[in-house]
Amino acid sequence: MKKTLDYDHRINANEIDIKVVNGTIWLQGTVNAFWKKDIIEKHALRIPGVEDVIDNLTVKLSRGYSDDDIKDEIINAFKRNAVISEDQINVIVDKGKVTLSGTVTDYVIKSTAKDLAIYTPGITKVIDNIIVRHT
């Protein structure tokens, strides 16, 4: 796992403690952006033989962001994206924790909305409550 992170120039692998026990990877440490936490977990899940990932990584932001600014950034990202209609998804931000909800017709829309939120500066967590209802 450490070698995998070493090859990803976006991640400082030295800041992450990794423990592997019986197919479970335990992650400890601090990252400065939520998207880094997300990428580290995705790397861990791609390793052959891994059955579970216990993600205890903490997001410590280098500066403060207001909830209103975070929400505006996410909504603006939705507006710029051809896949998402901004009125499909509700965005709530509380102390950097983003909750996405609403109903969409395609998994691609759900996934795109979550990815756009994950890469928004200032967030500490994303809760995806978006429902996919095929028509």
| Contact between residue 105 and residue 133 where contact means Cβ atoms under 8 Å apart | yes
On whether both 43 and 91 belong to a single domain, the answer is no
73 plus 126 within the same structural domain: yes
Instruction: Say how far apart CA 100 and CA 39 lie, in whole Å.
Output: 19
Residue 95 has a pLDDT of 93
* 90 in the same domain as 45: no
Q: pLDDT by residue (tens digit) across 64-106?
A: 899 999 999 999 999 999 989 878 899 999 999 999 999 999 9
Beta bridge partners of 29: 16, 57
Contacts with 63 (C-beta within 8 Å, 6 or more apart), sequence order: none
Specify the pLDDT at position 135: 72
- Helix axis angle for 34-45 and 107-118, nearest 10°, is 130
pLDDT digits (tens, 9 = 90+) for 53-62: 999 999 988 7
Mean pLDDT within 14-38? 92
The domain total for the chain is: 2
Contact (CB, 8 A) for 39 and 67 = no
95 & 54 share domain: no
Q: Are 128 and 73 members of one domain?
A: yes
Identity of residue 81 = N
pLDDT of amino acid 6: 79
- CATH number of the domain residue 114 falls in: 3.30.300.130
On whether both 28 and 82 belong to a single domain, the answer is no
> Residue with structure tokens 């796992």?
1
Residues 55 and 76 both lie in one domain:
no
Are residue 31 and residue 47 in the same domain, yes or no?
yes
Domain membership of residue 113 as a residue range = 67-132
Shared domain for 83 and 50, answered yes or no, is: no
